[in-house]
């Protein structure tokens, strides 16, 4: 299976469970991914630090200790399902702990980043700002970006938090993250982020700017969330006209209110995504009601594809998996031979410097780091061998997966949106020659006009027309 971001690699050895974070295996007791996350978080924070904090008074203790205590109270009232797993409604404290652990898990390959963040997370004075920065880091890692920290100790210049490089396109972005300070007088109608935005824009950005700002507002209802973002949207509209601020930027305004409401059971994290002095970015999120608007959307999607990766990652990275394993990709073993391996066959592999023969039991592809994790079993022992993949290996594996999925679907059109049908068609016809595409379109367009267009333009025209016909013919 292929993951964008951090793959969840779990294996068993004897009676022990192990999860790999990067190349480092972590032993844990439990059955679910949540069990692992809590033990992983305790290990990273340090049992000595947790013990020292537990001896302090309630007022002196770090908020993490309060979260652990309230999560323990929640577990006391948990029920047990038929599989022997504890179940309880997820409240604010438990959600905050799991989020913190999951963010650390996602950035686990970057030792320098982890060291800096853990130091700040343990300090009560910097904790909420540090957790927000960690969240932003994790979104970019999940979206398939490499992270390079800027030198914020250099007092001669103001730097953003980090530079993010999209592994797929190679495009670089300067990223800044700001958390608005909460005030006693806060209400949905008076939350103002302009101070944070102004400070962020004043920093020295080498690449295109991406700015994350958290409104840090304790909300209760979905209606209040809409009011908050409508108010912020109007603020940014007004401030865009300010002649003193001419910088362009992509703006992600978030609100993660869980830490305000320990009892909150419903997920209320949300994000407002918009351009700052980017006049066409908002059109990506407008309703599509005609072919012209659909084509405009596709052009904008190509233009801002990197940003859409981040948009998607925001929604996905805040959804913490419950269990190990997953979707249809878990069982697509027929496609592994394109990489030279087959499940359940015996291979000779090298483990800790020794050559051993073992059965290939499973595999996971880490798309971000271009690595293949081969999971071997030999009796009661389990081994993980990590192989480097080329970009072509990953492309070939994806192609094989796509063909396998399509072969399992009786009707690939039913239930799909027009955009999904277009994307499905474009995978094939983007590989067609220009001459073949002209041949397809010649009955409907002037041949000279067609020949003046590029192959990608012709492929788009073909696929838009076919997608529209197939969608409305369903």
pLDDT of residue 33: 87
- What are the structure tokens assigned to 33, written together? 């991914």
Q: Is residue 57 part of a domain?
A: no
pLDDT of residue 261: 59
Domain of residue 297 covers 108-317
- What are the structure tokens assigned to 64, written together? 């993490």
Residue holding tokens 């390959």?
Answer: 109
pLDDT of residue 152: 54
pLDDT of residue 234: 85
CA nearest neighbour of 101 among 368, 408, 320, 343: 320
402-408 long-range contacts, Cβ below 8 Å, gap at least 24?
A: 402/427, 403/335, 404/332, 404/334, 404/335, 405/328, 405/332, 408/328
Q: Is residue 417 part of a domain?
A: yes
378 and 296 share a domain?
no
268 and 338 share a domain?
no
pLDDT of residue 3: 42
285 and 370 share a domain?
no
pLDDT of residue 73: 84
Local structure of residue 474 (DSSP, 8 states): -
User: What does each C-alpha distance from 295 to 286, 422, 430, 449 come to in angstroms?
Assistant: 13, 11, 16, 18
DSSP H helices in 246-290: none
Give me the residues paired with residue 273 across strands. 252
Local structure of residue 28 (DSSP, 8 states): E
| Number of neighbours of residue 196 by Cβ within 10 angstroms | 22
386 and 416 share a domain?
no
pLDDT of residue 211: 93
- What are the structure tokens assigned to 426, written together? 């474009």
Q: Is 61 helix (H, G, I), strand (E, B) or coil?
A: coil
Burial of 406 (0-12, 13-18, 19+ CB in 10 A): exposed
Measured between alpha carbons, how far is 141 from 135 in angstroms, rounded to an integer?
10
pLDDT by position in tens, the chain (length 474): 334 555 677 777 666 788 888 778 888 888 788 889 999 999 999 999 999 999 999 889 999 999 999 888 887 777 776 666 667 777 778 888 999 999 999 888 677 788 889 999 999 999 999 999 999 999 998 888 999 887 655 555 577 889 999 988 899 999 999 998 876 566 666 788 888 888 888 887 889 999 999 988 876 677 888 888 888 888 888 877 765 656 788 899 988 776 665 555 555 677 888 888 777 887 787 777 788 888 888 988 888 888 888 888 877 666 787 766 543 333 333 445 656 777 767 777 776 677 777 777 777 777 767 788 888 777 667 778 888 888 787 777 777 766 655 554 444 556 578 888 898 888 888 888 999 999 889 888 998 999 999 999 999 999 998 888 887 765
Q: Cα Rg for the chain, rounded, in angstroms?
A: 25
Which among 285, 317, 349 is the end of a domain? Answer: 317
Residue holding tokens 């908050």?
Answer: 228
Q: What torsion do the CA atoms of 289, 291, 296, 298 make, to the nearest 10 degrees?
A: 100
Q: Is residue 164 part of a domain?
A: yes
Q: Is 283 helix (H, G, I), strand (E, B) or coil?
A: helix
Q: Is residue 62 part of a domain?
A: no
Q: Is residue 377 part of a domain?
A: yes
List, as one string, the DSSP characters of 318-354. Answer: TS--SSS--SGGGG-GGGGGGGT--TT-EEEEEETTE
pLDDT of residue 317: 61
Cβ contacts of 414 within 8 Å, gap of 6 or more: 474
pLDDT of residue 338: 58
297 and 210 share a domain?
yes
pLDDT of residue 151: 67
Q: Which residues of 225-240 are buried (b: 16+ CB within 10 A; e: fewer)?
A: bebbbebbeebbeeeb
370 and 431 share a domain?
no
Residue holding tokens 């049992």?
Answer: 47
361 and 255 share a domain?
no
Cα–chain center distance at 172: 17
- Dihedral class, residue 303 (left if φ above 0, else alpha if ψ from -120 to 50, else beta): alpha
Which among 317, 343, 368 is the end of a domain? Answer: 317
pLDDT of residue 45: 95
Measured over the CA atoms of residue 437, residue 441, residue 443 and residue 447, the dihedral's sign is negative
Cβ(159)–Cβ(207) under 8 Å? no
Which among 317, 342, 365 is the end of a domain? Answer: 317
149 and 250 share a domain?
yes
pLDDT of residue 14: 63
Q: What's the pTM? A: 0.76
Q: The domain spanning residue 373 has which CATH number?
A: 2.30.30
Q: How many distinct structural domains can be found in the chain?
A: 3
Measured between alpha carbons, how far is 384 from 363 in angstroms, rounded to an integer?
9
Measured between alpha carbons, how far is 386 from 299 in angstroms, rounded to an integer?
39
Q: Is residue 141 part of a domain?
A: yes
Measured between alpha carbons, how far is 215 from 462 in angstroms, rounded to an integer?
44
Q: Is residue 18 part of a domain?
A: no
Residue holding tokens 């955009």?
Answer: 419
Q: Is residue 74 part of a domain?
A: no
User: What does each C-alpha distance from 200 to 137, 159, 230, 232 come to in angstroms?
Assistant: 17, 9, 21, 16
């Amino acid at each position: 299976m292929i993951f964008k971001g951090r793959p969840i690699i779990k294996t068993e050895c004897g009676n022990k469970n192990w999860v790999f974070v990067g190349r480092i295996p972590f032993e844990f007791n439990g059955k679910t991914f949540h069990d692992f996350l809590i033990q992983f978080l305790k290990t990273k924070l340090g049992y000595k630090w947790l013990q020292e904090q537990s001896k302090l008074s309630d007022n002196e203790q770090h908020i993490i200790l309060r979260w652990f205590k309230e999560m323990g109270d929640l577990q006391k009232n948990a029920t047990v399902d038929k599989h022997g797993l504890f179940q309880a409604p997820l409240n604010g404290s438990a959600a905050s702990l799991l989020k913190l652990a999951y963010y650390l898990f996602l950035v686990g390959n970057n030792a320098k980043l982890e060291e800096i963040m853990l130091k700040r997370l343990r300090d009560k004075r910097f904790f909420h700002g540090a957790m927000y920065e960690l969240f932003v880091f994790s979104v970019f890692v999940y979206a398939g970006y490499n992270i390079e920290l800027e030198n914020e100790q250099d007092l001669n210049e103001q730097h953003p938090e980090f530079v993010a490089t999209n592994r797929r396109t190679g495009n670089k972005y300067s990223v800044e993250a700001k958390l608005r300070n909460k005030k006693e007088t806060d209400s949905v109608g008076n939350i103002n982020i302009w101070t944070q935005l102004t400070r962020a824009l004043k920093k020295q950005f080498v690449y295109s700017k991406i700015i994350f700002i958290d409104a840090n507002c304790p909300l209760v209802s979905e209606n209040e969330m809409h009011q908050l973002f409508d108010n912020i949207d109007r603020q940014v509209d007004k401030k865009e006209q300010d002649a003193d601020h001419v910088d362009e930027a992509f703006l992600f305004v978030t609100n993660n209110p869980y830490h305000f409401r320990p009892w909150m059971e419903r997920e209320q994290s949300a994000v407002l995504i918009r351009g700052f002095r980017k006049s066409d970015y908002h059109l990506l999120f407008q309703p599509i009601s005609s072919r012209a608007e659909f084509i405009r959307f596709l052009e904008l999607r190509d233009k801002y594809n990197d940003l859409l990766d981040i948009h998607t990652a925001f929604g996905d990275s805040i959804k913490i998996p419950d269990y190990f394993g997953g979707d249809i990709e878990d069982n697509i073993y027929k496609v592994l031979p394109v990489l030279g391996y087959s499940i359940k066959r015996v291979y000779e592999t090298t483990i800790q410097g020794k050559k051993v023969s073992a059965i290939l039991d499973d595999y996971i592809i880490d798309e971000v780091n271009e690595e293949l994790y081969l999971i071997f079993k030999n009796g009661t022992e389990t081994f993980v061998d990590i192989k480097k993949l080329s970009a072509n290996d990953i492309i070939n594996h994806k192609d094989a997966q796509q063909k396998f999925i399509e072969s399992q679907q009786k009707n690939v059109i039913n239930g799909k949106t027009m955009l999904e049908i277009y994307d499905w068609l474009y995978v094939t016809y983007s590989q067609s020659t220009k001459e073949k595409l002209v041949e397809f379109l010649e009955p409907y367009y002037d041949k000279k006009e067609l020949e003046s267009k590029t192959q990608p333009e012709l492929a788009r025209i073909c696929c838009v027309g076919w997608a529209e016909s197939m969608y409305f013919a369903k």
